[in-house]
Amino acid sequence: MKKTIVSLFSGCGGLDIGFRKADFNVLWANEYDKDIWSTYEHNHPDTFLERRDIRKIASEEIPDCIGIIGGPPCQSWSEGGTQRGIDDDRGRLFLEYVRILKHKQPLFFLAENVSGMLHKKHDSALRNIIAAFEEAGYAVSFKLLNAKCYNVPQDRKRVIFIGYHVDLNKRFNFESLVSGSGVPTLRDAIWDLRDSATPALANNKTREDACFVPNHEYMVGGFSSIYMSRNRVRPWNEPSFTIQAGGRHAPIHPQANKMIHGGKDKWIFDPNSSKPYQRLSARECARIQTFPDNFIFYYERLADGYKMIGNAVPVNLGYALAQVIHKDLFDYNKDLIENEQLIKRLDCSLAISVL
């Protein structure tokens, strides 16, 4: 059975892997950042990657599908940014997502964004975005989730929007998500990598060929006053801090002692730490984002590797969401029959065989 979906604002494809694990077929993807193209195409060989700006792609050029997934750029909503939201060009890319939904009319969509978009100052923009999704023909559910509850060894809060086409007569229920038996820790994720990371070359250029484990290199250099404004070390028996889209803000490896509080917004490294203070390697960050080790990141500047990894949706979070969507739409013969009729009515070129 083909369950063809389209991926927008794909990044390196963490969400895509999660959906593929849940038996969806990612037929077509779009990513405009040229620094990501090699990584995406190597790791998703069965997906066509469209490299153009989404604003220049007519809806008719995108394949018919049963679902659209993706995370429009989040910088304009970030709590650490200017929070310009919908007034920023990147914020308005949400509307490109809605444009494509209106035309393609898939059975479902999923969009991911940072927690900052739930800030009170964005209430009006948030209402307008939900109204636009509803006007496109979808019953919309959204919730702030912490990835650590879904088999991801990381505190990572993100807003997830999921819409089911109104003709399905159902709504995504976040209570249906299955959480893990416990929160995975740094020890669970990266203990076996603890002695094998290598520092990047001068100017933080990759030394990938010298890494026994692919991408297992860490950024070197100083730490800003902002970085030193709070503790950056989590111990082995806890989940990681959020993996951010920048190497200079990568958490410190858990081998080091917790930093020492030296006053308001000031922390220092413990001079008595038995192990050095070094950033997590790109591979360690990828593990924490639940990418498999056979997912290879291609870059010349290590900063580009950290950016790809930090911007991704954790694979296991995507998988948890995709499993519920799959169950809602396909796991029962009655639903399969209804969905086949609906797909025909929505003019999607998809053949569904009922087993």
Q: If you ran DSSP here, which 8-state letter would residue 27 be given?
A: E
Active site (annotated) includes residue 285 = no
Residue 78 has what pLDDT?
Answer: 45
Residue in 352, 355, 349, 345 with CA at minimum distance from that of residue 27: 349
Q: Report how far Cα 289 is from the mean position of its chain's Cα atoms.
A: 8
> 245 in a domain, yes or no?
yes
Q: Which of 12, 65, 74, 348 is catalytic?
A: 74
Decide: residue 236, CB within 10 A, 0-12 exposed, 13-18 middle, 19+ buried: middle
Q: What is the DSSP letter of 242?
A: P
Print the domain residue range for 300.
186-311
For the chain of 355 residues, list the mean pLDDT of each consecutive stretch of 10: 89 98 97 97 98 95 97 58 54 83 96 87 84 95 96 96 96 90 94 95 85 90 96 98 96 97 95 97 98 96 97 97 95 57 52 36
pLDDT value, residue 156: 97
Q: For the range 302-306, what are the long-range contacts, defined as Cβ-Cβ under 8 Å and sequence gap of 24 or more?
A: 302/200, 302/204, 302/205, 302/206, 302/217, 302/218, 302/219, 302/247, 303/204, 303/219, 303/246, 303/247, 303/248, 304/35, 305/206, 305/215, 305/247, 306/219, 306/244, 306/245, 306/246, 306/247, 306/250, 306/282
Clarify whether residues 100 and 123 are in a common domain: yes
Q: Do residues 9 and 152 both lie within one domain?
A: yes
* pLDDT in the model for residue 349: 39
Domain-embedded: residue 216: yes
Residues 25, 137: one domain? yes
317 within some domain: yes
pLDDT at 92: 72
- What pLDDT digit, counting tens, does each position of 148-193 carry? 999 999 999 999 999 999 999 999 999 999 887 789 999 999 999 9
Residues 160 and 29 in one domain: yes
Do 245 and 272 have their domain in common? yes
Domain co-membership, 160 together with 13: yes
Domains of the chain: total: 2
DSSP code string of 41-97: HHH-TTSEEE-S-GGGS-GGGSPP-SEEEE----GGG-TTS---GGGSHHHHHHHHH
Say yes or no: 85 and 167 in one domain.
Answer: yes
